[in-house]
């Protein structure tokens, strides 16, 4: 499980997705010109692994927020499993999942608006 993760991290650390053509491109953007909620995530991963947080945020701020949510989820699950804690994982609650879905849909809509401040959400 960890080997593919470290392999991808190694790949994205050394290879800037905006400088190569062999990494997958967004199908939605390629066909419609609209930015999906994931557009810019490969470039954001590259910049995060190289500790350039500002450029990562310029590519996809939701990617960074999602990583923090993933870290929270992993922390709760590891604490409960290995340290016999009984923390409630808020990310498993239905209300939280609905809120996350709403945030993703709003991010998708707002990052495609062609005027400030919403165009700041589009990848640069």
Average pLDDT over residues 21-37: 93
What pTM was estimated for this model as a whole?
0.86
pLDDT, one tens digit per residue, over 5-18 is 788 888 889 999 98
- Residue 2 confidence class, pLDDT cut points 50, 70, 90: low
pLDDT, one tens digit per residue, over 63-104 is 999 999 999 999 999 999 999 889 999 999 999 999 999 999
- Looking at residue 5, what is its pLDDT? 78
- Looking at residue 1, what is its pLDDT? 58
Q: What is the 3-state secondary structure (H, E, C) of the chain?
A: CHHHHHHHHHHHHHCCHHHCCCCCCCHHHHHHCCCCCCCCHHHHHHHHHCCCHHHHHHHCHHHHHHHHHHHHHHHHHHHHHHCCCCCCCHHHCHHHHHHHHHHHHHHHHHCCCCCCCHHHHCCC
- Looking at residue 8, what is its pLDDT? 86
Q: Where are the domains of the chain?
A: 2-121
């Amino acid at each position: 499980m960890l080997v593919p993760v470290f392999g991808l991290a190694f790949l994205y650390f050394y290879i800037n997705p905006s400088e190569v053509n062999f990494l997958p491109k967004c199908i939605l953007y390629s066909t419609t010109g609209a930015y999906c909620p994931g557009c810019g995530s490969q470039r954001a991963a590259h910049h995060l692994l190289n500790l350039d947080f500002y450029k990562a945020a310029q590519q996809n701020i939701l990617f960074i927020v999602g990583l923090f949510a993933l870290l929270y989820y992993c922390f709760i699950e590891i604490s409960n499993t290995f340290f016999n804690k009984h923390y409630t994982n808020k990310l498993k609650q239905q209300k939280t999942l609905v809120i996350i879905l709403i945030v993703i849909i709003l991010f998708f809509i707002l990052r495609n608006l062609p005027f400030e401040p919403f165009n700041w959400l589009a990848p640069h």
